[in-house]
Amino acid sequence: MENLKSPLGDLGAKPLGDLGAKPDLHIVSFGVPFPANYGGAIDVWNRVRALHQQGLRIMLHCFVYGSFKPHDAIREVVEEVHYYPRIAWPAILSPGQPYIVASRRNPLLLARLKKDYAPVLFEGIHTTGYVDELKDRKLLLRAHNIEHQYYAGLARESQRFAYLFFQREALALERYENNKARSFNAVFAISKEDKAWYDAKGSNCIFSPVFHGFEAMDVPSGRGQYLLYQGDLSVEINQKSLLEVLKNIPPEDNYPIVVAGRSGDQGFEQKLMKYPNIQREIDVTSDRMAELIRDAQVIIIHSRHPAGMKVKIFPALYQGRFIAANENSLTHTYLDKALHIYPLVQNLGSLLKKLWPLEFSSSHQAERASILSQLPSDQEKAKEIIKYL
């Protein structure tokens, strides 16, 4: 096993050397967490950074596919990083095995994990394909979603082949998540609803809010310049969410709207071109996204199903003025006090009329700061994880 070679080689790896050094923690990530330009990557990246700042020597394992590429910045916060390709075939045909799990069963990953007895933190159920082979050490799971619920939601929004794939994946994940729920010494759930699910399965589950990377609130006063919608618009369900929002903003109001995030397919992008008041910002950097958030008057967070936690709420809370969110986007924590909630998408237009002329005052800033002060810092959340190592 030790002679196995990754098809990608050890791109970016920083060897531990021959001095016998071993990691304090293995972290297995579903993708490359940097740049942290969407929800899952933001949570993983800031957790790795926080654990590094607590003094842990981390060996990071992550999967390269699509837009996930090796990045030099990762080497600054880990002792060693290894990259693996996802295995599409025959994983997609594995009977009863979720594709998101089977495609990440890389034998070189298992070989590296078995070289020592350090604890393993799995980022997402996606990465747990070897959990049964690693029962000789502490195993932790960061649950980013109840994945079978998330994929069932994707199936409901899809047609033809995509529907069949997502439906099959949802059924396989439901069996898998139920079977593996008690395989971990601790599960760190991203939402209270997810914690309740794992609690019901008998897991040792801890609610651990998003690792967001912010140390202090920095929300400007006064008025912003536009409505902002941000999201990964390469995903069909996010495209539908945006189009649903646009259909329910009265055209006569003619708000300037900025749409930021990953690019979608050509047909989707052409639909956006029909709106002359939209400024499209594609594949923006984290610095540019922060600028867009700070200059917005209202940030719209709209989801078509309630699974997991909407990570983009956190940049909006720490950097943005008014936040309009539908009920599927709620955190079900005290943070929801900072959101302006519209029960139905048909109510969005009237809410925007109310928020558009308002100044974000010093009293708004003080109220937001008070709400955010109740949120544990990334360092506090990292210390909570370390208790279980």
What CATH number should be reported for the domain holding residue 356? 3.40.50.2000
Q: Same domain for 293 and 363?
A: yes
In this structure, the answer to whether residues 237 and 362 fall within a common structural domain is yes
Instruction: Give the per-residue pLDDT at 90.
Output: 62
Same structural domain, 231 and 101? no
What are the mean pLDDT values of the chain's consecutive 10-residue runs (389 residues total)?
Answer: 36 40 93 85 95 97 88 94 86 73 95 96 96 95 94 86 90 96 97 94 96 93 97 87 94 94 90 94 89 97 82 94 94 92 95 97 96 94 96
Taking residue 39's Cβ as centre, other Cβ atoms within 10 Å add up to 20
What backbone torsions phi and psi does residue 206 show, to the nearest 5 degrees?
Answer: -120, 130
For residue 343, what are its two tokens? 């029960």
The pLDDT score that the predictor gives to residue 79 is 95
Asked if 192 and 257 sit in the same domain, the reply is no
Specify the pLDDT at position 185: 97
Complete DSSP assignment for 236-271: HHHHHHHHHHHHTS-GGG---EEEEES---HHHHHH
Fill in the amino acid letter for 81.
V
Tell me the pairing of strands 120-123 and 186-189: unpaired
Question: Which pTM value belongs to this model?
Answer: 0.87
Please check whether residues 164 and 298 belong to one and the same domain: no
Neighbour count for residue 315 (Cβ, 10 Å): 21
* Residue keyed to tokens 């900025």: 258
Q: Do 252 and 301 fall within a single domain?
A: yes
The C-alpha R_g of the chain, in whole angstroms, comes to: 21
**Would 220 be classed as within a structural domain?**
no
Q: Put residue 202 in one of left, alpha, beta given phi > 0 → left and psi -120 to 50 → alpha.
A: left
* Residue 186: CB atoms within 10 Å: 21
Asked if 169 and 139 sit in the same domain, the reply is yes
Q: Determine the residue type at 388.
A: Y
Q: Within a domain: residue 55?
A: yes
The answer to whether residues 274 and 150 belong to one domain is no
Return the SS3 of 42.
helix
What is the rounded CA–CA span in Å between residue 348 and residue 353? 9
pLDDT value for 92:
60
Structure tokens at 19: 């001095």
109/8 Cα distance (integer angstroms): 13
Domain co-membership, 49 together with 119: yes
Q: How far apart are CA 381 and CA 366, in angstroms?
A: 24
Q: Tell me how far apart the alpha carbons of residues 251 and 247 are, in angstroms, rounded to a whole number.
A: 9
Range of the domain at 235: 227-372
Give whole-number Cα distances, 193 to 116, 147, 170, 263, 330, in Å: 35, 13, 18, 31, 11
Is-contact 189 143, C-beta < 8 A?
yes
Q: Which residues fall within 8 angstroms of residue 112, CB to CB, at 6 or more apart?
A: 26, 59, 61, 82
C-beta of residue 128 within 8 angstroms of C-beta of residue 183: yes
Using an 8 Å Cβ cutoff, are 75 and 44 in contact? no
Number of structural domains the chain divides into: 2
What local confidence, expressed as pLDDT, does residue 20 receive?
Answer: 43
